Chains A and B, each alone.
Chain A
């Protein structure tokens, strides 16, 4: 008799847990935020040392003091191509700002020549940083391009945007961060 009661209690508990799983499955919102989570948010940006396609050295740590936007890019990726005009507009508007953000393209799984050709055709005179073995992408946890990261003047990672940028999103986010920033 005692054992029967135990079986009933256990079955009821298991049933309740399974029902709760179903409720969570039905009620939970899918994660559709373009501003994505990352364990690096609020942490110092990973150390990045590389060179640009023009042969200049690039050391991310030396950019401290400026807002930095890193855009992970591949010239054959459609969302990267789609958002390019928005990046050009963003770079132009930031260039006229005294406290403007610097933008850098991080080349992801692409050749320097292909990237150079793309920028010659589509504009964008900022620096394009090589990432030949994918070390920068791994350091930031980038699996798919495009991704855009914002780093504050203290060298802390502040925002990660996955996927194609929407009009005004990058300016809006940078301005918001800049307004709330205290060094």
Chain B
């Protein structure tokens, strides 16, 4: 029992470490074009439905792509600042990936909370089912059964 708990704990820790590592690592794009592509891929074309600026050929998307390219070439703003610039102009709906701050953070937090809560519910249910297992018969029970069997065989 103790070993099984340790295995679960180790797995949980491993997943947590991998998640933290994956979320914080900075293996960012290297070239200017990579930066432009990665930025436009997370911006929504304001006049299309469900297309990113990266794939759209609409005039508004072309303008945003040109602006991102201009700001990347100028080298004065970070990726975050460029995204903020576009967001301040077109509103939050232009971001395909919601921010992890303010009310938008609920988009990230709620699924995790739901997952944790579901695991808790499942754990409670499994524990309860295991607790409902019939106990092993006592010697008294065995005597009752034996008597009943004897009575039955006598009748036969």
Binding site for B on A (CB under 8 A): 3, 6-7, 10, 37-40, 108-109, 133-135, 137-144
B60 A144 Cβ-Cβ under 8 A: yes
Stretch of B8-16, B34-42, B83-91, B137-145 with 4 or more beta carbons under 8 angstroms from chain A: B83-91
The chain A residue with its CB closest to the CB of B117 is A10
The docked-state distance in angstroms from the alpha carbon of A143 to that of B59 is: 8
| Cβ of B66 under 8 Å from chain A | yes
Residues on the A chain within 8 Å of B59, using CB: 108-109, 134
Using an 8 Å CB-CB cutoff, how does the interface string of B27-66 with A read, 1 for contact, 0 for none? Answer: 0000000000000000000110000000000011011101
Beyond A40-B89, A138-B89, A141-B90, 19 extra complex contacts between A and B, CB < 8 Å: A3-B121, A3-B125, A6-B124, A37-B91, A39-B89, A39-B91, A109-B59, A133-B66, A134-B59, A134-B66, A135-B66, A135-B67, A135-B70, A137-B60, A138-B64, A138-B66, A139-B67, A143-B60, A144-B60
B86 neighbours in A (Cβ, 8 Å): 138
**Nearest 3 Cβ contacts at the A-B interface:** A134-B63, A141-B89, A143-B46
Q: Name the distance in Å between B9's Cβ and chain A's nearest Cβ.
A: 24
Q: A3-B128, A108-B59, A109-B59 are in contact. Are A138 and B67 (CB under 8 A)?
A: yes
Identify which of B90, B121, B125 contacts A143 (C-beta below 8 A). B90
Nearest chain A CB to B14 CB, angstrom units = 29
* Alpha-carbon distance A139/B89, docked complex (angstroms): 6
Majority-rule SS of A interface residues = loop
Q: How far is the CA of A135 from the CA of B89 in the complex (A)?
A: 12
In the bound complex, residues from chain A placing their C-beta under 8 Å from that of B46 are 143
Contact partners of A140 in chain B: CB under 8 A: 89
Query: Which residues of B lie under 8 Å from residue A137 when comparing CB positions?
Result: 60, 63
Q: For the complex, give the distance between the alpha carbons of A143 and B90 in Å.
A: 8
Option from B47, B63, B117, B125 in Cβ contact (under 8 Å) with A138: B63
Query: Across the two chains, which residue of chain B brings its CB closest to A43?
Result: B88
Q: Report the Cα distance A109→B66, complex, angstroms.
A: 13
- Interfacial chain A residues near B91, Cβ < 8 Å: 37-39, 141
Bound-state CA distance A22–B138 (Å) is 57
Residues of B within 8 A of A144 (CB): 47, 60
Task: Select one of B60, B67, B128 contacting A133, CB under 8 A.
Answer: B67
Interface centre among B64, B86, B89, B117 (most CB of A within 10 A): B89
User: Which of these, B47, B88, B89, B121, contacts A7 with CB under 8 Å?
Assistant: B121
Bound state CA distance, A137 and B59, in angstroms? 10
CB-nearest residue of chain A to B67: A138
Residue of B nearest to A110 (CB): B59
Nearest CB in chain B: distance from A63 CB, A: 20
